């Protein structure tokens, strides 16, 4: 059975909202859903990694466009 997946483009959201979306995506990963977050804020990508690790979910950050934007993949631990 495949996990639920959603893509969220946060490039035009304030950083505070983006951080809240990351926290929500981590909660969804604990419940079995995967999220792909698009952002231009390096701080959001940096924030996602240790917070996902703390909650024991997978997190992968992929720089795009010469590191001017990032894909953050948050997934349940297999």
Output the pTM of the full model.
0.89
User: pLDDT by residue (tens digit) across 30-73?
Assistant: 999 999 999 999 999 999 999 999 999 999 999 998 889 999 99
Domain boundaries, given as residue ranges, for the chain:
5-75
Distance CA 60, CA 3 (A): 17
From the list 10, 19, 14, 6, the residue with the least C-alpha distance to 50 is: 19
Domain 5-75 has CATH 3.30.110.40: yes
């Amino acid at each position: 059975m495949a996990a639920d997946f959603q893509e969220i483009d946060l490039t035009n959201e304030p950083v505070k909202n983006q951080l809240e979306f990351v926290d929500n995506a981590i909660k969804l990963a604990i419940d079995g859903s995967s999220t792909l977050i698009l952002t231009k804020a390096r701080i959001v990508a940096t924030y996602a990694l240790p917070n996902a690790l703390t909650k024991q979910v997978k997190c992968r950050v992929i720089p795009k466009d010469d590191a001017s934007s990032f894909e953050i993949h948050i997934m349940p631990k297999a």
